[in-house]
Homo-oligomer: A and B are copies of this chain.
C-alpha cells in the first residue's frame, strides 16, 4: 500500500487518515500548494497545523488529500471547540489541555480518549476556521475573491475548486457497530453510545428519539388492537382511548426532554458552550462591516431579505397550498367516481378499485412533498440568510406548513366537512401505509440497491487492476467519495412528525394507526441504520444538546390533536345519542372538556421539570464551582489591592 503514497510530510510516524479532501480535476498547482501549505502551517502563522498527505489514485487527474493530526494537536483542538468530557470524579467538565490528567481514560498513550468522530469534528472545525490573512483572492483563481477573515474552505467550496470534504469510515469500527446495531437478531436497545461515538450526537439523538418514540407508541398500539379486533364502537371506550392518548402524548414529549437531557449530559453536549456562528457558505452580499464582530464581511440588507420573504416566498407558499387543496378536490372527484363505478358494476375488481384513488393520492402527496421540498430549499437559499440556523428555521417552517396541509387536508375535509367516519378510517389507513412503504423504499432500499450495484462495478474495475482482494485505502477512498451525502436528519424527523400526526390527530377513529406506526418504526430503525452504515458517506459529527425545533413541532401537533379528537368524539353517533335532546349542551360540554384538557396539558408541561433532578444537581454544582472560582479570583485581587 505504501507505494501508492507520496510523502509530503513525514515527521509524524503514525499518520492516521481522518478526513478526505477532494479537489476538482485540473485544479492549478499553485492553488494546491497554497492550500496544503495553509493546512500544515503553524497556528502562529495562521495555519491549521494539521497533517496532509496526497493520495495518488489509479486513474490520476483526481486530487485527493488525506488530512490527519498529531495527538497533541487534536487535544488542543478539543479545547478550542470546547468539548466536554467525563472527569475522574464522574463529573462532566470542559476539556482543557492543562487539566487533561484529571479526565477519565486520559493517558498520553491512549489514542481513544477522543472518539474518531470527535477527531474528525475537530479537523473539520479547524479547516473551516482557516481564514484568509492578506490574500485578496485564491492563488490561481483571480475571480475567487478573499478578504481578511473569510473562511478559505468556504470560498473554495463556493467557487467549485473544493469538491467535497468528508470523514473516512473506520472499517473495523464500522463492522463492530453494524454487528451490535443491526447485524444480529435480538431484542435490545440500540447501542446509542456507540452510535454517538461513531456518527456524533445529532444522529445518535435521532436514533434515540426514534427508539423512544417507538417504545412510547407501544402502549397506544397495545390498547388500540382490541378496538380493531372486537370492533368496539362504544363512545365511552373511544373517550377512554382518546383521553389516554392525549395525556400520553403530552407525557411522552415532556419525558423525552428529560431523557434527552440525560443522554446529552452523558455525552457532554448539554454543557457545551455554543460557538459563535459564522455566515453560511451560500451567503453573499456587498463587502461591509459586521456590526457585531467589527470585521469586514459581506452584508446583506435585512429589508431586502424581508421583501424577498414576504413578496415572493410567502405568495409562493400560499400558491402551493392552494394547489395542494386543488389536487385534493380532484382526489375527491376520483373517489366519487370509483364509488359510482363500484355501485354500477359490483365485482372484486370494482371493490379493489375503491382503494385505487387513495393509493394514487398518497403517491401524489409524496411526490408533491418532495418537489415542494426542492422549491422550498431553493427559495430559502435565495432569501440569502446569513446564518445556517436562520436558514434552517425558515426552511423547516415552509416545509412543515406545506407537508401538514398536504398530508392532512383531505383527512380534515373528510372528517369535518363530509362527516364520513368510514371514509376517514379508510383514507387514513391508505395514506399512512402507502406513505410508509414509499418512504422506506425511497429512503433506504433504493439507495442501498444503487450503492450495491455501484460497489460491485467498482470492485470489478479495481479487481481488474489489482489482485489484492482486501480493499486498500485508495480503494476505500474511491468507493466512499462516490457514495451519496447524508444531508441531515431533517427528512427523518419530518417522517416521524407526519407519522405522529396520523397517529394522534384522528386516533380515536383509527386506533390501529399506532400499531402500523410501531411496525414501521421497527423496520425504520433497521433501514436507517443500514442507510447510515452502508449507503451514505460517513457524515461529520455535529454536537447538539436537543432535537431543536422538532420538539416544538411535535408539541404543536399534540395541541392540535387535542382539538381534533375532542371534535371527533363530539361528532360520534354514540355521544350524540347521549345528548339527544340538546345539541347545544353537547357542543358546550365538548368545548368545556377540550379547554380543560388543553389547560391540563399546559399545566403538565409546566410542572414536569425539563431536566431530571440529578442532572439539575450536577448543573448547579458546576455553576457553583465557577462562581466560587470567580470569587477566589476576585478575593485574590482584593488582597493584592488591600496590601498595596
Which A residues lie at the B interface, using CB under 8 A? 42-44, 49, 72, 76, 79-80, 97-98, 273, 275-276, 291-293, 563, 583-584, 587-588, 591, 595, 617, 620-621, 623-624, 627-628, 631, 634-635, 637-639, 641-642
Ranked 7 nearest A-B pairs via Cβ: A292-B620, A276-B627, A587-B587, A292-B621, A43-B638, A583-B584, A44-B639
- Complexed CA–CA distance, A587 and B586 (Å): 11
Q: Does the CB pair A595–B563 fall under 8 Å? A: yes
User: A639's closest neighbor in chain B, by CB?
Assistant: B44
User: A619's closest neighbor in chain B, by CB?
Assistant: B292
- Complexed CA–CA distance, A276 and B44 (Å): 39
- Return chain B residues, CB-CB under 8 Å to A637: 76, 79, 97-98
Q: Does the CB pair A97–B276 fall under 8 Å? A: no
- Return chain B residues, CB-CB under 8 Å to A273: 627
Choose one: B43, B628, B631; the contact of A635 (CB below 8 Å). B43
Can you pick out 15 interface pairs between chain A and chain B where the beta carbons lie within 8 Å of each other? A43-B639, A43-B642, A49-B642, A72-B642, A76-B637, A80-B638, A97-B641, A273-B627, A276-B627, A276-B628, A291-B617, A292-B617, A584-B587, A587-B588, A587-B591
Tell me whether A627 and B43 are in contact in the complex, defined as CB-CB below 8 angstroms, given that A79-B637, A587-B588 are known contacts: no
Q: Does the CB pair A638–B587 fall under 8 Å? A: no
- Complexed CA–CA distance, A623 and B273 (Å): 11
Chain A interface main SS type: helix
Q: Does the CB pair B591–A638 fall under 8 Å? A: no
- Shortest C-beta distance, A310 to chain B (Å), equals 13
- Complexed CA–CA distance, A587 and B570 (Å): 14
- Return chain B residues, CB-CB under 8 Å to A628: 276
- Complexed CA–CA distance, A543 and B291 (Å): 29
- Shortest C-beta distance, A580 to chain B (Å), equals 14
- Complexed CA–CA distance, A188 and B637 (Å): 45
Q: Does the CB pair A642–B591 fall under 8 Å? A: no
Q: Does the CB pair B42–A642 fall under 8 Å? A: yes
- Return chain B residues, CB-CB under 8 Å to A642: 42-44, 49, 72, 76
- Shortest C-beta distance, A183 to chain B (Å), equals 41
- Return chain B residues, CB-CB under 8 Å to A291: 617, 621
Choose one: B42, B588, B624; the contact of A292 (CB below 8 Å). B624
- Complexed CA–CA distance, A184 and B593 (Å): 55
Interface centre among A98, A276, A631 (most CB of B within 10 A): A276
Q: Does the CB pair B631–A80 fall under 8 Å? A: yes
User: A129's closest neighbor in chain B, by CB?
Assistant: B631
Tell me whether A72 and B292 are in contact in the complex, defined as CB-CB below 8 angstroms, given that A80-B631, A584-B584, A627-B275 are known contacts: no
